[in-house]
């Protein structure tokens, strides 16, 4: 079921989106050589709670942390722990906050120090995939059109679009309908309507689209061992376009 949100509900989602984005920026500001992923998770959890929010991920389906921190070949759902970030790593930070019963969800992939030019290009293109998708959003546009735009841009650079994990509707629940794939066919799929709120989140691998899950039951890594990038915003479909809710 897809719940169309009223103006008042979207106002509440703005608050959740803002806190989610502030949490993401805090995490990004901590990314440096020598820090552990657990230190970032701890700071973000405390920050969200101090602002009167609740970390959306903590306890979700048993997930043990407030942030997903996925390093290099880790695509998503990396569990924070003792891992120490080092120069040349990339780290995807994915975090969501609930405020007054409504969720926000966003992600960004950060560089640790100096990264390889081919890795920087993957980050730039994955971000462009998200921006392109958002620029297409308006009532009447179909989810296949959005997925196709993301997929064609990524594949034009020889990258792989992850199939097993996709974007999603969001609102009172972190995951609601509709599914928002990062691949698709033009003219297919659900038509967007004013009041829909969705998280668009391209996950793009440098080499190959395959992924596998580690034995921790969460961490998803590329099948090829190549690096992977992930950017995500929560957006609302407006009368004539999109509003990014995960912004400050």
Nearer to Co ion, 176 or 201 (CB): 201
Name the phi and psi angles at 84, rounded to 5: -100, 130
Q: Is 61 in the site for ligand MF3 (CB under 6 A)?
A: yes
| By the rule CB under 6 A, 176 interacts with ligand MF3 | no
Using CB under 6 A, pick the residue from 3, 39, 49, 63 that binds ligand MF3: 63
Q: What is the dihedral of CA 130, 241, 233, 135, to 10 degrees?
A: 10
Instruction: Output Rg (C-alpha) for the chain, integer angstroms.
Output: 17
Our CB check for ligand MF3 shows the closer of 86 and 110 to be: 110
Nearer of residues 199 and 227 to Co ion, judged by Cβ: 199
Q: Judged by CB under 5 A, does residue 199 bind Co ion?
A: yes
Considering the complex, what minimum distance in angstroms separates the CB of residue 230 from ligand MF3?
9
**DSSP designation for 37:** H
| Closest-CA residue to 171 (of 56, 25, 24) | 56
Distance CA 126, CA 118 (A): 12
Contact mark string toward ligand MF3, 64..103, x via CB under 6 A: ----x--------x----------------x-x-------
User: How far apart (Å, rounded) are the C-alpha atoms in residues 63 and 60?
Assistant: 5
| Chain centroid to CA 178 | 16
The reply to whether 169 sits near ligand MF3 by the rule CB under 6 A is no
Residue 148 interacting with ligand MF3 (CB under 6 A): no
Rounded Cα–Cα distance for residues 58 and 75 (Å): 19
Compute the least distance from the CB of residue 96 to ligand MF3, in Å: 6
Nearest 10 degrees: Cα torsion 58, 64, 70, 76 = -70
Least distance in Å: CB of 182 to Co ion?
Answer: 12
Total Cβ atoms within 10 A of residue 167: 28
| Total residues in contact with ligand MF3, by rule CB under 6 A | 11
Among 73, 74, 89, 105, binds ligand MF3 (CB under 6 A): 105
Q: Which residue is nearest to ligand MF3 (CB)?
A: 57
Interface residues with ligand MF3 (CB under 6 A) are 57, 60-61, 63, 68, 77, 94, 96, 105, 199, 201
């Amino acid at each position: 079921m897809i719940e169309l949100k009223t103006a008042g509900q979207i106002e509440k989602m703005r608050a959740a989106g803002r806190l989610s984005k502030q949490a993401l920026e805090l995490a990004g500001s901590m990314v440096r050589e020598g820090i552990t992923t657990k230190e970032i998770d701890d700071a973000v959890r405390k920050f969200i709670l101090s602002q009167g929010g609740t970390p959306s991920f903590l306890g979700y389906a048993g997930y043990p942390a407030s942030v997903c921190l996925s390093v290099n070949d880790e695509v998503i759902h990396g569990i924070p722990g003792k891992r120490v970030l080092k120069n040349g790593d990339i780290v995807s930070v994915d975090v969501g906050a609930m405020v007054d019963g409504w969720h926000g969800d966003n992600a960004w992939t950060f560089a640790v120090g100096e990264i390889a030019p081919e890795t920087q290009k993957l980050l730039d293109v994955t971000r462009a995939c998200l921006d392109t998708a958002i620029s297409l959003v308006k009532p009447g546009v179909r989810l296949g059109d959005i997925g196709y735009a993301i997929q064609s841009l990524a594949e034009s650079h020889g990258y792989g679009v992850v199939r097993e994990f996709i974007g999603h509707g969001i609102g009172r629940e972190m995951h609601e309908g509709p599914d928002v794939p990062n691949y698709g066919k033009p003219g297919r799929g659900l038509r967007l309507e004013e009041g829909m709120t969705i998280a668009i989140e391209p996950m793009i691998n440098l080499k190959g689209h395959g992924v596998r899950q580690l034995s921790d039951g969460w961490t998803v890594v590329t099948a090829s061992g190549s690096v992977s990038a992930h950017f995500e915003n929560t957006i609302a479909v407006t009368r004539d376009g999109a509003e990014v809710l995960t912004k400050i």
